Chains A and B, each alone.
Chain A
Amino acid sequence: DAKTTQPTSMDCAEGRAANLPCNHSTISGNEYVYWYRQIHSQGPQYIIHGLKNNETNEMASLIITEDRKSSTLILPHATLRDTAVYYCIVRVQYYNQGGKLIFGQGTELSVKP
C-alpha cells in the first residue's frame, strides 16, 4: 500500500502557483520523497525528489517539513499543460531491496484558464 495521502483533486488558475500537499507521516529516515505526474495516460514523468532539504529544479520546488511527515510540491506558474495526476511517493533509494515505486491514487490537478 502507498505510504502517502494526497487530496483527490485540486483546481488552479492558469499563471498562479499550484501547491500540492502530501502527507507521509510514517516515512523512515532513509526514505526519499518523489513526485511524478501522468498526463493523459502518458508515461509517468519524473518531477523532483528530496530527502529532507527543500529542492528546486526547472519544473518545480519541493518543500519538506522539518519532521518530514509532509511535503508540498509547488508549480510556480501553472499552465494548462500542467493538468495531470500528480503522485507523491516515498521510497528507499540507496538500499538493495528493489526500489519499486508504489503509486497511490494521486491528486488530479486541473489548471483552468
Chain B
Amino acid sequence: NAGVMQNPRHLVRRRGQEARLRCSPMKGHSHVYWYRQLPEEGLKFMVYLQKENIIDESGMPKERFSAEFPKEGPSILRIQQVVRGDSAAYFCASSPQQETQYFGPGTRLLVL
C-alpha cells in the first residue's frame, strides 16, 4: 500500500507566479489535510478537505491560497502570486474517516 504521495518534491517560483502542489492520499483514504512549516518554525494546520468539500479552512491565509479535493484526482493546494514569505515546506496528510493521519514527504517551495 503506497503511502501519501506529494509532487513536486521541490518547486521554485519567482515572485508573482503561481504554485500548484499536489497530494495523492493513501488508497482508501477520503480525508486530506494540508500543513505548512515555515523555516525554523513548527507545523501549522492549513485546511481539511473531504472529497469535493472543504471542511475546515481555519488555517488558510485569507488571500491567494486555495485548496480543492475533486472527486477524481489528487488534492491541489494552489498559491497565486507567490511572495518570498510563502517559501516553506508544505505537507499533506490523509486519513480514513477522522482517524490517524499519515503524512507525505512534503513539497519544498522556494520563492525567488
Contacts and interface: CB of A to CB of B under 8 A. Distances in A.
A43 B105 contact: yes
B33 interface: yes
Nearest to B95: A99
A66 to B, nearest CB: 24
Contacts, number: 63
- Contact size class for A? 20 to 34
25 contacts: A34-B100, A41-B89, A42-B105, A42-B106, A43-B4, A43-B91, A43-B105, A44-B43, A44-B103, A46-B100, A46-B101, A93-B98, A93-B99, A94-B97, A96-B98, A97-B56, A99-B31, A99-B48, A99-B95, A100-B33, A100-B48, A100-B59, A101-B93, A103-B44, A106-B42
Interface of A: 34, 36, 38, 41-46, 49, 87, 93-106
